[in-house]
């Protein structure tokens, strides 16, 4: 069973790199182009410990399942590779839940969509486990990766 870790561990490079790698691998798998990723603080987003920049804005309503799975990819990578997930994952879950609530009025539909999104994220990370590790390790070594570096890692 997954558990939320101590917030002080959010600064751990392994956790941050695993989380960002999960977002990247799911995005790549589902066709969302990624421009760059970092496990350092991004001046444009000072409250985030790491960040993925997408080459194009994700369309939240027309592509809600893929968008949500990409958001939850970080959580699932942490859960599957590290056995727990951190505070950043809770924020990702909150954002996805808000988007589902905004898009659907029926509670049964909301639950169904949330389950579909989580299943997609979970299955993608499980299937592409080695890619998550490759991206994670590269992020730890380089701190920041651009689109070309990410594409080279994910083509294998």
Copy the structure tokens of residue 32: 């969302």
Predicted local confidence at residue 154, as pLDDT: 95
Q: How confident is the model at residue 4 (pLDDT cuts 50, 70, 90)?
A: very low
Predicted local confidence at residue 59, as pLDDT: 62
Instruction: For residues 19 and 70, give the distance between their C-alpha atoms in angstroms, rounded to a whole number.
Output: 11
pTM > 0.85: yes
Domains and CATH numbers, the chain: 8-154 (1.20.58.760)
Task: Give phi and psi for 45, each to the nearest 5.
Answer: -135, 70
58 by Cβ neighbours in 10 Å (0-12 / 13-18 / 19+) ranks as middle
CB neighbours of residue 148 within 10 Å: 9
Q: How confident is the model at residue 61 (pLDDT cuts 50, 70, 90)?
A: low
Q: Name the more confident of 49 and 114.
A: 114
- Nearest Cα neighbor of 156 from 135, 125, 139, 140 is 135
- Nearest Cα neighbor of 25 from 85, 73, 79 is 73
**CB neighbour burial string for 86-104, b if at least 16 within 10 angstroms, e if fewer:** bebbeebbeebeebbeeeb
Q: How confident is the model at residue 41 (pLDDT cuts 50, 70, 90)?
A: confident
Task: Give phi and psi for 35, each to the nearest 5.
Answer: -85, -40
């Amino acid at each position: 069973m997954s558990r939320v870790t101590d917030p002080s561990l959010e600064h751990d490079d392994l956790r941050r790199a695993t989380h960002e790698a999960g977002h990247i691998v799911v995005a790549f798998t589902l066709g969302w182009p990624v421009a760059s990723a970092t496990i350092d603080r991004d001046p444009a987003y000072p409250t985030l410990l790491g960040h993925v920049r997408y080459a194009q804005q994700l369309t939240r309503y027309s592509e809600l399942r893929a968008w949500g799975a990409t958001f939850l990819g970080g959580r699932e990578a942490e859960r599957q590779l590290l056995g727990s997930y951190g505070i950043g994952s809770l924020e990702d879950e909150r954002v996805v839940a808000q988007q589902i609530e905004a898009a659907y009025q029926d509670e049964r539909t909301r639950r169904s969509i949330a389950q579909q999104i989580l299943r997609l994220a979970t299955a993608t990370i499980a299937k592409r486990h080695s890619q998550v590790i490759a991206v994670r390790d590269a992020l730890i070594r380089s701190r920041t990766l651009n689109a070309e570096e990410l594409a080279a890692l994910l083509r294998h």
